[in-house]
Structure 1
Amino acid sequence: MEIIASLDKVSYFYPNSQKPVLKNISLNIRKGEFLGIIGPTGSGKTTLCLTLNGIIPQFYGGRFFGYIKVAGLDTLEYPVSHLSHYIGSVFEDPETQLLSTSVINEIAFALENLCIKREEIITSISSALTAVRLEGMENKHPQELSGGQKQRLAIAAAIALKPKLLILDEPTSQLDPIGSQEVFSTVRKLNKELGITIIMVSHASEEMAQFSDRLALLSDGKIIKTGTPEEIYTQIPLLESHNLRPPEVAKIFYGIRRKGINFSQVPVTLEQGIKTLRELKNNIVIPTTPKKSDRMHENNLVPLLSTRNLTYCYENNIKVLDKISLDIFSGEYVLIAGQNGSGKSTLVKHFLNLLQPTQGTVQVKNKDTQTLSISDISRIIGYVGQNPDNQIFNMTVKDEIIFALNNLGYGKRQIDNKVYKILEDIGLLEFSQAHPFSLAKGDRARIIIAAILAMETDIIIFDEPTTGQDYKGACSILEITRKLHQAGKTIVVITHHLYLMSNYAERVILLKEGKMILDASIDEAYHKVELLKSTYLVPPQTVLLTQEMNRNIQNKYPALTPNQMIKCFSSYEI
């Protein structure tokens, strides 16, 4: 098969770095393939992408060893401007790539800079819009588009140059499930119908298993293994040793096989999993489902946070929240879910009194929020935003926490003792004198959590806390939420990544177009598959497999996690 790109013993050191980020990498990329690159944060994935389009070392400098050829061109001999004719790049955040005031101008921008003739530009724009399904949106401002549409526009701008190779670095990490699916299906279409070779970096293991032809596992700057999704994602111990999350389907059937149950092959996609599940119908043994207490209906329980007929409209009378009534009780762990634009963030802004209702009321500890100052509410509700950088403004980690305590009137000795304990508990003691922005994003989120712990709030709200995190980083933050919940804190998490919350949340509030369409236990909510799909949310693969399993049994079992489903299988036929 023809090779479109090749790396030969590539190593790279960033300027002033003593440690290589890439270590002796050799890899051939076949023309027309969809190559997925997987690996933990810090493994060198982004650096590898930047070497393929010449940005490293041409713009970054540093020390580069080895050779890279793309479409027959040595990336050291040709300038990036020339390489861009053959290599398109799309990055994690589409906002950083969109510069123009309309969709059509965005796609034309690169073409005009390359002095392509007007007639060719018009033809290229039309073809690119058709390829990414944005026809009819030519005159829209990019900010009017959804997250998935923005990313598809960034892809359109890249493919308008008709590249032979398209590189995408975490293009879906900031998107909701429908936006993510839009991007993956668009990229696969470009790959299959236009023959564009795809290199995609992603932590989305279920989608990578479904769409990739081949995977390369990168860790600590080295290629650990390459192979088909079936060859890589069935090696569960290998993946977990590199802090990677396998597709839930693969983890489930790997666990079932370890119980001594034989079947042809561990599946890695949902379709394969359903087929294998049907082969094992005689091995299903449903365990007893434990009963769970329902805090929402305990006697004499007073809500800690409540809304009644909460309605909010923008100035143009567009309704963002529509008659939402809910109660959140002390000690609960609540998941608020919904696609982008469903009203999740607007609801939370009302909890924090950053917005006032158009109609209805919001109460915190039986007091109307409109009678409380934001300072008063900050002593009751702590908020960890999606981007921790927006909440950090001190020069050291320690000072960030001291700032909150100073405002509460503590003495110096009390502050020193409190800061030491909080930093120790949160795992940041060794970084107390470090500048916050010298830490990884996950650790910066911990700083905000530490500052909130210092405030001793009753409720802590986490707004999309796992966005942009790898699996290890996401679990690390969610484990903090678990410990806080076990310590008696009321936890509210906002996310559309349902698969991450199966082991944590107790209750789910589901929003759609500003309305609350479900308030139920997580066991019940996750198995409302059609309702979730109507809001463009994707239940965990475990839930979808369990639904298939429950078709053939009398006592339905509401499994949420791979381990719960594995328990449903016995090596003895019944």
Structure 2
Amino acid sequence: MEIIASLDKVSYVYPNSTKPVLKNISLNIQKGEFLGIIGPTGSGKTTLCLTLNGIIPQFYGGRFFGYIKVAGLDTLKYPVSYLSRYIGSVFEDPETQLVSTSVINEIAFALENLCIKREEIITCISSALTAVRLEGMENKHPQELSGGQKQRLAIAAAIALKPKLLILDEPTSQLDPVGSQEVFSVVKELNKELGITIVMVSHASEEMAQFSDRLALLSHGEIIEIGSPQEIYTKIPLIESHDLRPPQVAKIFYDIKAKGINLSKIPVTLEQGIRILKKIKSNITIPTTVKKNHKTLKKNLVRLLSAKDLTYYYKNKLKALNQVSLDIFSGEYVLIAGQNGSGKSTLVKHFLNLLQPTQGTVQIKNKNAKILSISDISKIIGYVGQNPDNQIFNMTVEDEVAFALNDLGYDKSQIKNKVYVILEELGLLGFLQSHPFSLAKGDRARIVIAAILAMEPEIIIFDEPTTGQDYKGACSILDITRKLHEAGKTIIVITHHLYLMSNYAERVILMKEGKIILDTSINEAYHDLELLKSTYLFPPQAVFLMQEINRNIDNKYLALTPDEIVDCFNYHEI
């Protein structure tokens, strides 16, 4: 097999640092393969990508050891501008890569900079648009595109140069399921149809198991293991020991096998799992006791938020909300789900009084939101945005958490005590005098949560809190939401990552095109596969396996989690 890229004993230390981020990495990347790079946050995945296209060390400096060749070119000897003819790069946030005023100009930008002839540029643009399925959008401004379309445009700009190697660093982490599927399917087509070698970094384990030819597990700057998805993802203890999440189907069947059920192999894709499940259904006994875990909606609670016939038009006459009516009660844990553009954030902005209804009413604790000031609302509702960096503006962690308390009239001793207690609860007391931006993203998210908790709101809204987080970081934040809920807070989480919410939410409000199309318990919502499919959302793989188990069973068991599926095998009541 021809080698398209090779790394020989590569190590790297960033400027002003003594700790190597990459340690003695040797790796051969085969021509035409799809190589997935997996690993926890801070393992060196992005740094590894930047060494492959020459940006490290050419732009960053630092100390670089070893050798890298891509398409026969030494990345230390050739400038990045020249290497870009052979190596395309796509990063996590497409917004940072799009610089032009139209789709066609975006793709032409790099071609023009390399002084390619006009006729060839036109041909390259047409080919790139076809490859990423953006034909007919040539004259659109990039800001008119959806998240998935923007990322596909970034890919088109990269492949217009006909690279030998395409590197993608977390290209779907900020996309909804539609955009994520678009990107994965396009990348696989480029790999199979055009023969472009792919290196992709991603935490999306189900997709990586489906699309990758090989996986390299990176941890603390070293390659720990490399092999096929079947070889890597079936080593559950190894994956979990590095704070990664295996595909749910692999985890489920690993635990089933541990109960003594004979399996020919542990599946890593849903299709494999369903085939194996059909062969071992004789071992299944649905436990009646486990059904008590099914979450039911709470009743007779105090109404905190209410919307009645809420309709909202943006200035461009886009109807973002269409006669939305709902009530949210004290002590609930509510998941608001829907693809990008479904109206989730617009709805929440009305509860925060950041938007005024075009029609209908919004009430907060039975008072019209229009008569409440932002200060009044902040005492009732706390808001944690998708990007914590947008909510941080003080020089120390202590000042950030204390900021709002100064305006609320607390004296200095009260403020100091509250800040200390909250930071200790969130594991941040050791960073009291640290600058917030010197901390990791997960810690910065906790700083924002701490600042909100200091004001003691009754309701806390988390808007896409797990975006850009690895599995450990996502669970860390969601565990905080659970503790707050157990302490009596009303929790609202907006997300399209349904697989993360099975152990947390109780109620699901599903939105589509500005309307609420479902409002029920999480067990009922996750098992309404047709409705979820219509919104391009996907429940956890455990739900699909449970659907298979439920075939020809009258009393359906609406399991959500891997543990609930495993409990169905050889279960005997005591």
User: Which TM-score tier does this pair reach, normalised by the shorter chain?
Assistant: over 0.9
CA distance in 2: counterparts of 1:417 and 1:375, whole angstroms: 22
Q: Output one character per residue of 1:284-340: Cα deviation in whole Å (capped at 9) or x when no partner.
A: 110111176745433xx3311111111111234321101111111101000000000
* Number of residue pairs the alignment of both structures matches: 570
Instruction: Point out 4+ residue stretches in structure 1 off by more than 2 angstroms.
Output: 291-298, 315-318, 552-555
CA distance in 2: counterparts of 1:123 and 1:47, whole angstroms: 34
- Name the amino acid aligned to 1:451: A
CA distance in 2: counterparts of 1:182 and 1:291, whole angstroms: 35
- Name the amino acid aligned to 1:494: I
Cα contact 2:286–2:571 (8 A) shared by 1: no
Residues 552 and 254 of structure 1: CA distance in aligned 2, closer, same or farther (over 3 Å): farther
Question: Which residue in 1 is equivalent to 2:53?
Answer: 53
Q: Output one character per residue of 1:223-244: Cα deviation in whole Å (capped at 9) or x when no partner.
A: 0000000000001100000000
CA distance in 2: counterparts of 1:138 and 1:168, whole angstroms: 23
Question: Which residue in 1 is equivalent to 2:269?
Answer: 269
Question: Which residue in 2 is equivalent to 1:211?
Answer: 211
CA distance in 1: counterparts of 2:4 and 2:372, whole angstroms: 63
Q: Output one character per residue of 1:432-481: Cα deviation in whole Å (capped at 9) or x when no partner.
A: 10000001111111011001110000000000000000000000000000
Instruction: Among all aligned residue pairs of Structure 1 and Structure 2, give the percentage whose two residues are the same amino acid.
Output: 82
Moved more, 19-28 or 282-291: 282-291
Question: Which residue in 1 is equivalent to 2:460?
Answer: 460
Residues 74 and 85 of structure 1: CA distance in aligned 2, closer, same or farther (over 3 Å): same
Cα contact 2:6–2:68 (8 A) shared by 1: yes
Cα contact 1:215–1:226 (8 A) shared by 2: yes
The partner residue of 1:290 within 289, 292, 295 is 292
- Name the amino acid aligned to 1:143: Q
Question: Which residue in 1 is equivalent to 2:281?
Answer: 281
Question: Which residue in 2 is equivalent to 1:89?
Answer: 89
Computed over aligned residues only, the root mean square deviation of the Cα atoms, in angstroms, reads 1.0
Instruction: Name the SS of the counterpart of 1:455 in structure 2.
Output: coil
Cα contact 1:295–1:329 (8 A) shared by 2: no
Question: Which residue in 2 is equivalent to 1:566?
Answer: 566
CA distance in 2: counterparts of 1:384 and 1:561, whole angstroms: 27
Question: Which residue in 2 is equivalent to 1:356?
Answer: 356
Report how far residue 16 of structure 1 moved: 1.1
Question: Which residue in 1 is equivalent to 2:71?
Answer: 71
Cα contact 1:252–1:562 (8 A) shared by 2: yes
Report how far residue 555 of structure 1 moved: 2.3
Question: Which residue in 2 is equivalent to 1:29?
Answer: 29
Cα contact 1:259–1:571 (8 A) shared by 2: no
What are the residue-to-residue correspondences of 1:417-432 with 2, within 5 Å? 417-432=417-432
Q: Output one character per residue of 1:160-183: Cα deviation in whole Å (capped at 9) or x when no partner.
A: 000000000000000000100000
CA distance in 1: counterparts of 2:299 and 2:484, whole angstroms: 23
Instruction: Name the SS of the counterpart of 1:297 in structure 2.
Output: coil
Question: Which residue in 2 is equivalent to 1:406?
Answer: 406
What are the residue-to-residue correspondences of 1:190-229 with 2, within 5 Å? 190-229=190-229
Instruction: Name the SS of the counterpart of 2:354 in structure 1.
Output: coil
CA distance in 2: counterparts of 1:473 and 1:89, whole angstroms: 26
Pairing 1:108–2:112 present: no
What are the residue-to-residue correspondences of 1:200-349 with 2, within 5 Å? 200-288=200-288, 289-290=291-292, 294-298=296-300, 301-349=301-349
Instruction: Name the SS of the counterpart of 2:172 in structure 1.
Output: coil
Instruction: Name the SS of the counterpart of 1:138 in structure 2.
Output: coil
- Name the amino acid aligned to 1:290: K
Cα contact 1:466–1:477 (8 A) shared by 2: yes
Instruction: Name the SS of the counterpart of 2:199 in structure 1.
Output: strand
Residues 524 and 571 of structure 1: CA distance in aligned 2, closer, same or farther (over 3 Å): closer
Question: Which residue in 1 is equivalent to 2:165?
Answer: 165
Report how far residue 47 of structure 1 moved: 0.1
TM-score normalised by L of structure 2: 0.98
TM-score normalised by L of structure 1: 0.98
Report how far residue 571 of structure 1 moved: 8.0
Report how far residue 570 of structure 1 moved: 1.2
Instruction: Name the SS of the counterpart of 1:377 in structure 2.
Output: helix
Query: For structure 2, which runs of at least 5 residues remain unmatched after alignment?
Result: none
Residues 395 and 265 of structure 1: CA distance in aligned 2, closer, same or farther (over 3 Å): same
Cα contact 2:22–2:221 (8 A) shared by 1: yes
Instruction: Name the SS of the counterpart of 1:410 in structure 2.
Output: coil
Residues 201 and 316 of structure 1: CA distance in aligned 2, closer, same or farther (over 3 Å): closer
Report how far residue 263 of structure 1 moved: 1.2
Instruction: Name the SS of the counterpart of 1:187 in structure 2.
Output: helix
Question: Which residue in 2 is equivalent to 1:531?
Answer: 531
CA distance in 1: counterparts of 2:470 and 2:342, whole angstroms: 25
